Structure 1
Amino acid sequence: MARESFAIGSARVRAGAARNLEIPITRLITGADVSLPVRILHGREDGPVVWINAATHGDEVVGVEVIRRVLAALSPKTMRGTLIAVPVVNVLGVMTGERYLPDRRDLNRSFPGSARGSLAGRIAHLMMTEVVAKCEVGIDLHTGSDRRTNLPQIRADLDDPRTRELAAAFGAPVMLHARVRDGSLRHAARESGATVLLYEGGENWRFDEWAIAAATDGVRRVLGLLGMVDPPDEEPPGPSVECRTSSWVRARHTGFLHLDVGLGQRVEAGDRMGSVSDSFGKTLRLVRAHRAGIVIGRSEAPVVNGGDAVVHIASTDPA
């Protein structure tokens, strides 16, 4: 018996087929329509329904390339289950080169949204009703923001056995037990019953190849674990380091930032990680680790103000 077609928006996708859709969001002042781009791969055989999305923030483009590469290697004729890919959630932000929407709202603080709410609320509602509500697993792709770069990492509820299993299968260097933020896609999706992994890796407005490759391989491993595709032949570089807490070291002086630590580097409390100097090179303050752990994020800004976040350290200490 043939598998039933998959309904999304005003369309139906038959088993063994792929289809690109444009789900209407709003209309510009010029009269042009703005739509949410979606690609559906509806496998011939039964399996889970999974979504993968990127660019919820308009300046975070690593995930767009990840989704392109994942889709290029999949065929609905051989795939099991259904994959919904949304490479650009914040369409207006990407178009204008902005992190947020034209109304300055953070889309990732606007979920689950409302059909009659703000522009952000309407996009969030559309994403929830047309994508998330149809799926059991989701992968939300992000990068660092505001001139920060992140080590490839999965942030998820590691106390949930199913989520932990998928996070471990992804195989990022670090998996961080992270609380959910109200209004985020991860929070709203989890409340609706979905299992969600949030990937962080790379810097905004950059195609960092190392972050793209880590995420592409991770997504493929998750799809393999779910039985949607054959598991990849290669094993992940190593098991993910589990971290339970994280926090930022902040600049204690205004000046020019010089960091000596790299992403993934292990540090001990008190280790020197860099310095803040004046324009003549005089050291004003040293940047020291406030805890032992792994560097999972760092600022790439040359100039910092006192109080700015400069190095993100995750701890493996359960406490």
Structure 2
Amino acid sequence: MTTKKKPASSGKEKKKASKPKAAKRADFHIGSDTIKAGTRKIIDLPISALPNRLQMNLPVHVFHGRRDGPTMFVSAAVHGDEIIGVEVIRRLAQRPALKQLKGTLLLVPVVNGYGFLNHSRYLPDRRDLNRCFPGSEKGSLASRLANVFLNQIVKVCDYGIDLHSAALHRDNLPQIRITKNDDAILELARVFNAPAILHSNLREGSLRKHAAELNVPVLLYEAGEALRFDEKAVRTGLSGILRVMQHIGMIRVDKIPKKRTDPTVFIKSTWLRAPTGGLLRLFKGLGETVEKGERIGVVSDLLGEMDIDVVSTRTGMIVGRTNLPIVNGGDALVHIARASLEESELSSAEALGDDEDSENLFYEDEII
């Protein structure tokens, strides 16, 4: 019996070096739940019992990637009637890019479940949740909800995007609101690529203010109208979130719509008010530019015997407007924002200042 000899090695054959296995990523813990790396899970953080004994929870969709990366939250409906963000998050959760996620993504489609169910901005006690942070375990219902959201969601994140719309009967051009003197936030706002970037002061009790104190940068996206879906606003919000996630290394996406233009940074803004009560007709829409002294609308009386022109007091772009044709004297009609004229002013968030007659953006978006 003959045995076949193995051919002598030529020396050219190289042994395949075995790749060292990457260390398994740690589980993610939230509330009483554990999410393993490479999985997703919908969890409910308990808030309170309703009068009919049903439990009100804060639903969170957790995506815990296999590989390390940033942790980011995306939230909507802090004001229960601002539902644009709910649809944005629904679409985001279905994106194939999340299968290759680096890091952890927390999606909170409805923060204020009470207002959402009742088509209301507020909680049952008429409190505005976005004035109740940081909250308290033993405070009011709004305070308890704020406490859970801040401690269970915001504190564990590196970034956040909070989705809003204009208040009832108002409409906003898609825009990002940022704090001045923060170049890192300005960079993220530019990456998001909404048409407009506006300066908005931090308000006491707001989510943004207390997130900033935790060193968690939060972009505030404003678009559309309360209790309405607006397709352009939804698509702009979704694309912006994906761009930010790609920028900070969480995803690789090939199908994000390309930027057509860069966003405009607005340094000043003011509301144009109704000269008298009556029926309003506006001749300009969101995103259109207006000149100082230009006639942009008219207020008429019921019998058609009087027409009073609405004249712009500024040159700029319309970034917000009322949708109500019935107005009282002094009602906010059109929000006009003015961009810097010099490129040097656009290069730093430090350039974003308040006009002496500007009103804080939040005042006109609140219902008092």
Q: Shorter-chain TM-score: what band? A: over 0.9
> Structure 1 residue 146: deviation in Å?
2.2
> Does the 8 Å CA contact 1:221/1:232 hold for their aligned counterparts?
no
Alpha-carbon contact 1:248-1:313 (below 8 Å) kept: yes
Give the counterpart of 1:210 among 216, 223, 232: 232
Q: Within the alignment, does 1:189 sit opposite 2:211 as a pair?
A: yes
Alignment counterpart, residue 245 of structure 1, candidates 268, 275, 294: 268
Within the candidate set 244, 255, 259, 2:278 is matched to 255
Q: Secondary structure at the match of 1:244?
A: strand
Q: What are the Cα deviations for residues 64-105 of structure 1, in whole angstroms up to 9, with x where unaligned?
A: 000011111046541101100100001000111111111000
Q: Unpaired runs of 5+ in structure 2?
A: 1-22, 341-350, 356-368
CA deviation after TM superposition for structure 1 residue 285, in Å: 2.1
Q: Is the 8 A contact 1:266 1:293 kept in 2?
A: yes
1:221 is matched with 243
Aligned-residue CA RMSD in angstroms? 1.3
Alignment of 1:239-318 (within 5 A): 239-317=262-340
Give the Cα–Cα distance (whole angstroms) in 2 for the partners of residues 244 and 19 of structure 1. Answer: 42
**3-state SS of 2:100 partner:** coil
Looking at structure 2, the residues matched to 7 and 229 of structure 1 have their Cα atoms a distance apart, in angstroms, of 22
CA distance in structure 1 between the partners assigned to 2:128 and 2:99 by the alignment: 38
Contact 1:16 1:76 in 2 (8 A): no
Whole-angstrom distance in 1 between the partners of 2:264 and 2:305: 38
Is 2:24 the partner of 1:24? no
Tell me how far apart the structure 2 counterparts of residues 74 and 125 of structure 1 sit (CA, whole Å).
Answer: 33
Letter in 2 for 1:37: P
Structure 2 counterpart of 1:114:
136
More strand by share: 1
Computing the radius of gyration from Cα coordinates, the structure with the larger value is: 2
**In the alignment, which residue of structure 1 is the partner of 2:149?**
127
Percent identity between matched residues is 45
SS at match of 1:108: helix
* 1:81 alignment counterpart: 103
Which string of whole-angstrom CA distances, capped at 9 and with x for unpartnered residues, describes residues 103-136 of structure 1?
Answer: 0000111111111111111111110000000001
Aligned counterpart for 2:188 among listed residues 153, 166, 172: 166
3-state SS, counterpart of residue 159 of structure 1: coil
Which amino acid is 1:91 matched to? G
Name 1:2's counterpart in structure 2.
Answer: 24
Partners of 2:135 and 2:269 lie apart in 1 by 29
Q: Are positions 1:151 and 2:199 aligned together?
A: no
Distance in 2 between the 1:54 and 1:141 partners? 5
CA contact (8 A) 1:225 1:231 kept: no
- State the 1:39 CA deviation: 0.5
Gaps of 5+ in 1: none
Q: Deviations over 1:285-314 (max 9, x none)?
A: 211111111100000011011111110011
Q: Secondary structure at the match of 1:183?
A: coil
